[in-house]
Amino acid sequence: MVNVNNNCSTGSTALFLARQTVESGAADIVLAVGFEQMQRGALTIGYTDRPTPFDRFNAVMDRIQERDESPFAAQMFGGAGRQYAQQYGTAPETFAKISVKSRKHAANNPYAVFADAVTVEEVLAAPHIYGPLTRLQCCPPTCGAAAAVIVSDEYARRNGLDGSVVIKAQAMATDFASTFTEQDMTKIVGYDMSKAAAQQRSSPCTRR
């Protein structure tokens, strides 16, 4: 058993390790499980008696943007959104359309927390949180869990399993030095590592 705690990438990290384990031949079948039990209200630092991975991010944010009492996640992503808008001339309505699109999809999902459609005007009129973000552009605290069983080709054949679902490719990256040295909010929220992951040319996974 391997326990993984990698913030927002915990579930995908578990799946990545499960696939590696099967692909290497160390195991024929691996169960990857992810779950989160959230607390009410905005995200907070759960343990205040020890350093957290966010200390370095907060130190950079303190130097490059005004801080207030809004949730730290909203300050991170709202600050990045504000910088992006200033750099590329993005209108608030453009950001608002992301929430409209997401709620449109949620309306067709019986398990969605919020299934009511919203308009651009409603998103923009919602209470302001930070930067370009309003309340309707922020995620609620939501509990959930998921699991995936990863097996080798040989195991699937031996047990008569449908092997048509495959992991075509996976990539993993982490923060670069630029995250903390370039005074750039888009890099604070992961621009460089997202770009690096997208550019990886990994061969397709042949294990199921």
Q: Output the six-digit token pair for 171.
A: 């990539």
Give yes or no for residue 207 having a pLDDT over 70.
no
> What pLDDT does residue 61 have?
92
Nearest 10 degrees: Cα torsion 196, 197, 200, 202: 160
DSSP string, 81-140: HHHHHHHHT--HHHHHHHHHHHHHHHTT-TT-S------HHHHHHSPEEETTEEGGGSPP
Give yes or no for residue 107 having a pLDDT over 60.
yes
Q: What integer is the mean pLDDT of 76-97? A: 96
DSSP 8-state secondary structure symbol assigned to residue 9: G
Nearest to 131 by CA among 84, 62, 170: 84
Q: Output the six-digit token pair for 128.
A: 């302001």
Number of Cβ within a 10 Å radius of residue 59: 10
How far lies 114's CA from each of 101, 102, 133, 138, in Å?
A: 13, 10, 18, 12
Give yes or no for residue 186 having a pLDDT over 90.
yes
Q: What integer is the mean pLDDT of 175-193? A: 93
In this prediction the pTM is: 0.81
> What pLDDT does residue 206 have?
42
